[in-house]
Amino acid sequence: MNLSTDKFFLIFIFLFAISSTNAQVTENAYWNKADSLLNSGNLTGGLVEMERVVFTTSDQSVRQKAIFKKAMIHKSMARFPDVQTELNRIGVIRNPEDTLFTMRAYELALAQYMTEDYQDALNTLENCVIMLSEDNPATESLLTLKALCHNQLFQFHEAEKTLVQLKQQSPKPQSALYAKALKKYEDAPRYKDPEKARHLSLLPGLGQVYTGKVFEGGISFLLNASALGFGAWQVYSGYYFTGYVVGVTLLQKFHSGGQHRAELLAIQKNRKNILEFNTAITQTLLKSPGE
């Protein structure tokens, strides 16, 4: 290598180093102000700063990272619909090796889970998992959330299949925890159909009994029977107007109210039961393998 070539090579290395340093400074400049605002607790300022980065940058990867950071600020404020809105702005990430690919999918599915859009969460997770290899470190978290979504929809067979898949893919200590979680499906809660509860309440109180509220069902039956009895007695006594206006109106109110109440009780019971069940599953999976 002659002298002129040596000089050219040194100049090239020097320029490359300057370019790399400038790129790093520029990269840090994007986040320094936002991080400072967030560290001081100014979440609104952080949101504004992240949006400024999105608006001003021409670098697609920086833009996607800024949107993701903005979504995480909304997450810290429990604004899960806003989390979904921001993550959908990122657009399609086609490379499954990109860490943002799995992070976006998991956080989007979690936000959908928190807003009770369980089927949407399942679709998000399935579209992600199908692109990943079994040994991808994100697979475990994605599939665990998928099982919890199936539980929320009372799709216990599908949830068990997902946990079995995780059990087979996991090392022995962790697979033991999945085995313990699978045992809990022997006592999985039964689904109470709100529509069925409403229809059963055509006979006052029966819908409440169906949801496990036997005493409340008895009260509902007595209220309806009392309204019917009062109306009939008034008509029998010749007070037709009072019998119709008071008796029939009360009966209608008690009956329709009982149907609505039975439907609501079924929904509440399902939520309570599945919350307790999912909590038990989650606590089992979070235990140390030796416990």
| pLDDT tens sequence across 251-265 | 777 778 888 999 999
Q: How far apart (Å, rounded) are the C-alpha atoms in residues 36 and 48?
A: 13
DSSP state of 6: H
**Residues 255, 221: contact at Cβ < 8 Å?**
no
Going from the C-alpha of 60 to that of each of 81, 93, 94, 181, 275, the distances in angstroms are 24, 11, 13, 42, 40
Instruction: Determine which of 73-82, 84-93, 221-230 has the lowest per-residue pLDDT on average.
Output: 221-230
Q: How far apart (Å, rounded) are the C-alpha atoms in residues 24 and 19?
A: 9
Average pLDDT value for residue range 191-210: 91
| Model pLDDT, residue 3 | 46
Q: How many CB atoms lie within 10 A of CB 224?
A: 22
Going from the C-alpha of 177 to that of each of 126, 158, 167, 207, 239, the distances in angstroms are 23, 18, 8, 39, 70
**Residues 70, 89: contact at Cβ < 8 Å?**
no
Q: What does 25-53 look like in DSSP terms, one character per residue? A: HHHHHHHHHHHHHHHTT-HHHHHHHHHHH
**Sign of torsion over alpha carbons 79, 84, 85, 86:** positive
Counting residues of the chain whose pLDDT is more than 90, the rounded percentage is 45
HSE value, Cβ hemisphere, 13 Å, CA-based, for 1: 7
Q: How far apart (Å, rounded) are the C-alpha atoms in residues 228 and 188?
A: 41
Exposed (0-12), middle (13-18) or buried (19+): which is 291, by Cβ within 10 Å?
A: exposed
Q: How far apart (Å, rounded) are the C-alpha atoms in residues 78 and 284?
A: 25
Span 89-125, pLDDT tens digits: 998 788 888 889 999 999 999 999 999 999 999 999 9
DSSP state of 238: T
pLDDT exceeds 70 at position 182: yes
| Model pLDDT, residue 4 | 54
pLDDT exceeds 80 at position 271: yes
Average pLDDT value for residue range 262-284: 93
Span 12-46, pLDDT tens digits: 444 444 444 333 334 556 677 777 877 888 888 88
Instruction: Determine which of 228-232, 268-272, 284-288 has the lowest per-residue pLDDT on average.
Output: 228-232
Reported pTM: 0.78
Q: Which range, 88-102, 147-161, 204-218, has the best average confidence (pLDDT)?
A: 147-161
DSSP state of 17: H
246 falls in which pLDDT band (50, 70, 90)? low
Averaged pLDDT score across all residues of the chain: 83
Residue 41 zone, left/alpha/beta (φ > 0; ψ -120 to 50; rest): left
